Chains A and B, each alone.
Chain A
Amino acid sequence: MGVDLSVSLGGARLANPVVTASGCFGSGKEMSRFVDLHSLGAIVCKTVTPEPRLGISPPRGAETASGMLNAIGLQNPGVEAFRENDLSWLAEREVPAIASVGGHSVAEYVRCVEVLRGSTGLIAIELNLSCPNLEDRGFMFALSAERTAEVVAAARAASDVPIFTKLSPDVTDLVAIAEAAAAAGTDGLSLINTTLGMAIDTRTFRAKLSTGTGGLSGPAIKPIAVRCVWQVHRALPHVPIIGMGGIAGVDDAIEMILAGATAIAIGTANFYEPAVSEQIARGIADFCELRGITSLDEIRGQVKEEG
């Protein structure tokens, strides 16, 4: 029996629903030592900004129970170098790419989108509106429906590929922000980014990260991610969602699809199981075959809601 795992992400067609979470897979070069990149639906690359960024001073990471904290400060070579060195590398190998872009202003997001226009192999752009680690922390677009809508509308107008908007779970009403992004024209949503956390070294009395706080990721946040995907999918059933947050195995991926995700992204698990993304992509096919599922459409959002 054939299983059709292909999914549509706002016009972009993926051979299977497994992609990589931005910032957890580079642009594929390093990971290609462990994973057949063609086994994945697409590579979502590390966030780039108009200009290169040095990133913040170490220490940048700390392990926590079933997860980790990070604060990198968007270290990146700039969108132009990314296009020349990373996107072209993926294009040469015919690996579908989703770029992730960030910025300090609406104009900076637009600048990134413009530089990426017409890039071979680029199937979508993800707007990173929720990185909580930048120095100008008052400027997180994802905290406000209005600011989110502004960036989405400007990026949508500038882009020749589908726009996915990545939101933060650290808000009081995620559905309202997701609705604002949808109304502004986003082709899909990426849920969720890390949630802000902190850890303190009891020997030195210092925060474990140089910035004090950082983004919590890994299996520790999976229930939050499933909840976010479920809430947003219920409110916006026609908006495709890339679900992510703590996915480390096939079961986690299926859970996210049952909550309403169209595709799923593997993040922190790549760090400790370098081949896990390919294993999950193959595992989803096995799961479907075993359960007699011919298309993921049959189970998407199919969580039974009565007690």
Chain B
Amino acid sequence: MNPVIRIAAVASAARFGAYRELVMEAPEIAKDARPGQFLNICVQPGGAHLLRRPFSIARADRTAGTVSVVFDPVGLGTQWLAAREAGDTVDLVGPLGHGFDVASDPGVDLLVGGGYGTAALSFLAAELDARGGEVHAIIGARSRSRLYEDNVLDETCASIAVMTDDGSAGMQGLVTDPMPEMIKRFSPRVVYACGPMPMLRATAAVASELGVPSQIAVEEFMACGIGVCWTCVLPVRTNGSLKHQRSCTEGPVFEGEAIAWA
């Protein structure tokens, strides 16, 4: 399943609180895309910001031939993307990267998502559910408007704990607060996480303390996203020694235990 370069029409654009969702027509990407993989998107055609930006795939609909991304329009690139409307085109490269590893047999798993990172976990939840698994989730954000929750999560998760920094939705606190109790109660095989780096670091640490393997989808600056620039590396323990591995190729999903957090 090689990645492709594709000029994709925007099928729909929507708001999700502070976030935006863009659904794009790219059948050959939708066909192969796996949870945890990403698209590298040109965000300023003809402009001075040449580098593509990586976006986690939030959904791949094989039937409709669409892929979607969810993002926070905070920077120049994401703001350009947020201005796209149905019928506009977007230049994509994907699907890229090593996504989440999913066991083929059904089991209990825990998802931990922060901010718009939860969208990629929704894609994963659908896949785990389709395999007959039991999925629990902890989703968090700074506040209600920055919390990502969708129908797929609601329908596929056996339980969802909601945490916000300011208590404007769910419980006040961090996503790591309910982790020990949920791990004790459900004995998940794997903790899957996606979100901002400090949250990922804390999530990996709690999972590790409690002896549960974690799979962490990291977010790093990438110049190329296709494995040749070596800017997006993280120090990762590999066969006993520390190596700089590429977030775009060996990642973006790494074992939480293996990452040598800065």
Contact indicator B244/A75 (Cβ below 8 Å): yes
Contact indicator B3/A75 (Cβ below 8 Å): no
Q: How far is the CA of A271 from the CA of B227 in the complex (A)?
A: 9
Determine if B13 is an interface residue (Cβ-Cβ < 8 Å). no
Min Cβ gap B55→A in Å is 15
- Chain A residues bordering chain B, tally (CB within 8 A): 34
12 contacts between A and B (CB under 8 A): A30-B226, A55-B244, A58-B232, A59-B231, A66-B50, A72-B229, A75-B233, A270-B224, A272-B52, A274-B93, A274-B226, A275-B5
Contact indicator A55/B230 (Cβ below 8 Å): yes
Q: When each residue 35-55 of chain A gets 1 if its CB lies under 8 Å from chain B and 0 otherwise, what string results? A: 000000000001000000011
Q: Which residue of B lies closest to A272 (CB)?
A: B50
Contact indicator B234/A30 (Cβ below 8 Å): no
Q: How far is the CA of A67 from the CA of B243 in the complex (A)?
A: 28
Contact indicator B229/A67 (Cβ below 8 Å): no
Min Cβ gap B246→A in Å is 10
- Chain B residues bordering chain A, tally (CB within 8 A): 30
Q: When each residue 255-275 of chain A gets 1 if its CB lies under 8 Å from chain B and 0 otherwise, what string results? A: 000000000000011111011
Determine if B51 is an interface residue (Cβ-Cβ < 8 Å). yes
Q: Which residues of B contact A59 (CB under 8 A)?
A: 221, 231
Q: Contacts A272-B52, A274-B5; is A30 near B243 (CB within 8 Å)?
A: no
Determine if B83 is an interface residue (Cβ-Cβ < 8 Å). no
Describe B's contact surface by its main secondary structure.
loop
Of B42, B231, B244, B262, which is in contact with the most chain A CB atoms at under 10 Å from its CB?
B231
Contact indicator B223/A30 (Cβ below 8 Å): no
Determine if A4 is an interface residue (Cβ-Cβ < 8 Å). no
Q: When each residue 10-40 of chain A gets 1 if its CB lies under 8 Å from chain B and 0 otherwise, what string results? A: 0000000000000111100011011000000
Number of A-B contacts (CB under 8 A): 96
Determine if B63 is an interface residue (Cβ-Cβ < 8 Å). no
Q: How far is the CA of A219 from the CA of B224 in the complex (A)?
A: 15
Determine if B28 is an interface residue (Cβ-Cβ < 8 Å). no
Contact indicator A61/B227 (Cβ below 8 Å): no
Contact indicator A31/B48 (Cβ below 8 Å): no
Determine if B49 is an interface residue (Cβ-Cβ < 8 Å). yes
Q: Contacts A57-B235, A272-B42, A274-B93; is A75 near B2 (CB within 8 Å)?
A: no
Q: Which residues of A contact B249 (CB under 8 A)?
A: 30
Q: How far is the CA of A24 from the CA of B224 in the complex (A)?
A: 9
Q: Which residues of A contact B14 (CB under 8 A)?
A: none
Q: Which residues of chain A in 250-296 are interfacial with respect to chain B, using CB atoms and an 8 Å cutoff?
A: 268-272, 274-275
Q: Which residues of chain B in 24-77 are interfacial with respect to chain A, using CB atoms and an 8 Å cutoff?
A: 42, 48-52
Q: How far is the CA of A62 from the CA of B220 in the complex (A)?
A: 11
Determine if A218 is an interface residue (Cβ-Cβ < 8 Å). yes
Q: How far is the CA of A268 from the CA of B221 in the complex (A)?
A: 15
Contact indicator A54/B244 (Cβ below 8 Å): yes
Q: How far is the CA of A218 from the CA of B48 in the complex (A)?
A: 10
Q: Which residues of B contact A57 (CB under 8 A)?
A: 235, 262
Q: How far is the CA of A31 from the CA of B48 in the complex (A)?
A: 24
Query: Which of A55, A58, A268 makes the CB contact (< 8 A) with B220?
Result: A58
